[in-house]
Structure 1
Amino acid sequence: MSSLPPFPPRAFWKDSEPLECVAVLPEVANTVTFTFRAPSGAFFDFDTGQFLTLELPVPGGPLYRTYTISSSPSRPRSISVTVKAQAGSIGTRWMLDHLTPGTRIKAMGPAGGFTYLQHPAEKYLFISAGSGITPMMSMTTFMYDLGTEPDIVFINCAKRPSEIIFRARLEQMATRARGIDLKWVVEESDPLSPWTGFQGQFNQLMLGLMAPDYLEREVFCCGPEPFMVAVREALQGLGYDMERYHQESFAAPAADAETEGDELDDVYPEADTKAEITFAASGKTALVPETETILSATRGAGLNIPSGCTFGVCGTCKIRKISGEVHMVHNGGISDDDIADGYILACCSHPIGAVTVDV
């Protein structure tokens, strides 16, 4: 009897390899799911809720945009992002108009810590609005694929029923897993299409009706900032333990929000003090005020490094600091291990004195 050949070792995708678009799936108006594979056949290794930063070759570009992964790591042969073009969108509109099967683009990541895997619980409450549904879709699909029955109350808010992203796919999963409890909230019904579900703005009363045991659930929230503010205020007003509340947003943090970062002890950038930045890889130098960011100085020197959010969330502008000190206040876009290894986020790092970076 001949033995089966050994299973080849599994290679995982690295962001040094481009992604190849293999499928384009329209979801709702101005919303499309793009599925990618690695040309080498490598598998994808990521956590549910993480994001990718795509380098988009728009005219005058490249442009860097961050998108949450909507597919599940339980299906590792491909990776998907679901994007919604808003009024004035440049990068997302380019994707909808020009990204077709066979196109290859550069991507960075995966990155981010918005995942239920870091906050295990017996019960979950997922609250989202619009395209904020994407990380919830990834997490729900992963739990569904595990084969065990999850306990999720899944709330999504949309303008109209026809604009609920992933509605059919989620309802199909819910018919095969009793632990997926879907609740849709819309602002208005579609013309000539009666709506018998929740209607209006999400509020405390709706929350109590949809998830009476919300105090027992780990909450994950994603959507536009005003929506997440409303959710936080609703939960706080009901006495929810906000240590169990988690949110994902690529919007700039509120001015009065507490920020965490790697701060140089008692040393802060001064507008009237100059700092000298040496760009080791290119041999250039720049003399700038300490209040100017490394990213701004890099662009002023005619150099280009990838950047996305520009306020320390996405991690796209991570570079290695060879020497010197910076004042960095980020918003979760870099890990403590990376900082210990000498990396900084250029968008939120201010040079103190003489600094050398690997650019």
Structure 2
Amino acid sequence: MNVPNRSLAQPINTWDGSALLECVAVLPEAPDVVTFSFAAEDGSIFSYLPGQFVTLELPVPGGPLYRTYTISSTPSRPLCLTVTVKAQEGSIGTRWMLDNLKPGMKLKSTAPGGTFTSHHHQAEKYLFISAGSGITPMKSMTTWFYDTGRPSDIVFVNCAKRPSEIIFRETLEHMASRTDQLKIKWVVEESDRFRPWAGYEGFFNQLMLGLIAPDYLEREVFCCGPEPFMQAVREALQGLGYDMERYHQESFQAPTAALAEDYAEDDVIPDEDIKAQVRFATSDVTATCAQTDTVLSAARSAGLNIPSGCTFGVCGTCKIKKTKGDVHMVHNGGITDDDIDEGYILACCSHPIGEVEVEV
């Protein structure tokens, strides 16, 4: 691993997203799953909360593509930052990474962000439930507890198609063998042809939950995976009388309408028949659009590029400063109340009302 050399006499700076990330290692994990390790080009160290994410700018053919990935490393190991990615059918950005990203190459990235972290919901007992590559934030949080020796009772559940597709299996089982505070439970849909399987088999359900963590009502639950999987977990917990105020999930897929409505800031309903105007002050460009258009779509129609990742208010990549006017913004956690108070908006989910000016 070619981590940049540092003299002990040099001051240690914290990476803030301004320096490029240099790929220093590429580690295969499972079929179509790879961990990429990065060091900051300027030698700074990484500080973030376990469970947070970054948005990488990928130089794919046809122009840069922005993709958001949870950090799979832990801040207790600050010299490198890793993301573990799985190429799905039809994926563009992740497939480019698997086929092209090599040690020595450098990428632009946002600083770490996100609120899906055990640091914001401290508890004596946790239940981490994930599927597929949704294991990455759970691994980051678990490793932080393990490295720092913090008292924690963690039941760690991960669901995969088959045993050979379980990500981080050996790493997590090693940690579990060194502490009685971590209990690992694997669930697979089917066994491998030549590998006997003695664990749970089938789809995660209420019966499995009761067997895996009989005291689930006492645990803070974190869940990450495909939306259908998380919906099944939510329904299982609700059906068993779990206090859903203690349930937390992370997803970079479009949230359900019910979840998005929780973040509505007002009762204004944008009207597609009413025109609005967005002035991009830095570029000295003005675009006319409908109220139902977003600031992001107005920028693209005007030939301007605002970096964006998820496009539905989760990742925060498209945060920009609004200097005049009003917008209707329905986000899903990608911006803080403090940012909003300072005039920032998320371009992907902000609809201009009247005349609006932004620093783009």
Into which bin does the TM-score normalised by the smaller protein fall? over 0.9
Which residue is equivalent to 1:289?
290
Which residue is equivalent to 1:112?
114
- Cα distance in 2, alignment partners of residues 178 and 142 from structure 1: 16
Question: Deviation string for 1:61-93 (max 9, x for gaps)?
Answer: 200000000000000111000000000010000
Instruction: Supply the AA of the counterpart residue of 2:283.
Output: S
Instruction: Supply the AA of the counterpart residue of 1:176.
Output: R
Secondary structure of 2:68's aligned partner: strand
The Cα shift of 1:322 comes to 1.2
Instruction: Supply the AA of the counterpart residue of 1:122.
Output: E
| Structure 1 range deviating more: 25-34 or 13-22 | 13-22
The Cα shift of 1:262 comes to 6.1
Q: Describe how 1:204-283 pairs up with structure 2 within 5 A.
A: 204-261=206-263, 263=265, 265-283=266-284
Q: Describe how 1:99-178 pairs up with structure 2 within 5 A.
A: 99-178=101-180
Paired positions, count = 354
Which residue is equivalent to 1:338?
339
Deviant stretches of 4+, over 6 Å? none
- Please report the TM-score for the alignment, with normalisation by the length of structure 2: 0.96
Instruction: Supply the AA of the counterpart residue of 2:329.
Output: M
- Cα distance in 2, alignment partners of residues 242 and 139 from structure 1: 21
- Cα distance in 1, alignment partners of residues 56 and 74 from structure 2: 18
Secondary structure of 2:111's aligned partner: strand
- Cα distance in 1, alignment partners of residues 259 and 39 from structure 2: 38
Give identity over the alignment, percent.
69
Instruction: Supply the AA of the counterpart residue of 1:296.
Output: S
The Cα shift of 1:7 comes to 6.3
Instruction: Supply the AA of the counterpart residue of 2:248.
Output: H
Q: Cα–Cα, structure 1 residues 304 and 258, in superposed 2: closer, same or farther, change >3 Å?
A: closer
- Cα distance in 1, alignment partners of residues 341 and 116 from structure 2: 22
Question: Deviation string for 1:31-82 (max 9, x for gaps)?
Answer: 0000000111101110010000000000012000000000000001110000
- Cα distance in 2, alignment partners of residues 109 and 140 from structure 1: 22
The Cα shift of 1:255 comes to 2.5
Secondary structure of 1:155's aligned partner: strand
- Cα distance in 2, alignment partners of residues 268 and 200 from structure 1: 44
Which residue is equivalent to 1:33?
35
- Aligned partners of 2:22 and 2:38 also within 8 Å: yes
Instruction: Supply the AA of the counterpart residue of 2:343.
Output: G
1:67 lines up with 2:62 in the alignment: no
Instruction: Supply the AA of the counterpart residue of 2:139.
Output: M
Which residue is equivalent to 2:48?
46
Q: Cα–Cα, structure 1 residues 280 and 179, in superposed 2: closer, same or farther, change >3 Å?
A: same
- Cα distance in 2, alignment partners of residues 14 and 148 from structure 1: 27
Secondary structure of 1:256's aligned partner: helix
- Aligned partners of 1:123 and 1:216 also within 8 Å: yes
Question: Deviation string for 1:298-329 (max 9, x for gaps)?
Answer: 00001111011111111111111111111111
- Aligned partners of 1:149 and 1:177 also within 8 Å: no
- Cα distance in 1, alignment partners of residues 62 and 26 from structure 2: 25
- Aligned partners of 2:15 and 2:111 also within 8 Å: no
- Aligned partners of 1:260 and 1:330 also within 8 Å: no
Which residue is equivalent to 1:356?
357
Secondary structure of 1:227's aligned partner: helix
1:347 lines up with 2:348 in the alignment: yes
Structure 1: segments with no counterpart, 5+ residues: none
- Cα distance in 2, alignment partners of residues 352 and 64 from structure 1: 27
- Aligned partners of 2:260 and 2:332 also within 8 Å: no
Question: Deviation string for 1:249-274 (max 9, x for gaps)?
Answer: 111111233524463x5543221111
- Cα distance in 1, alignment partners of residues 248 and 210 from structure 2: 19
- Aligned partners of 1:68 and 1:81 also within 8 Å: yes
1:313 lines up with 2:314 in the alignment: yes
| Structure 1 range deviating more: 141-150 or 250-259 | 250-259
The Cα shift of 1:349 comes to 0.4
Give the CA RMSD over aligned residues: 1.4
The Cα shift of 1:207 comes to 0.7
Which residue is equivalent to 2:181?
179
- Cα distance in 2, alignment partners of residues 262 and 9 from structure 1: 44
The Cα shift of 1:14 comes to 1.5
- Aligned partners of 2:191 and 2:197 also within 8 Å: yes
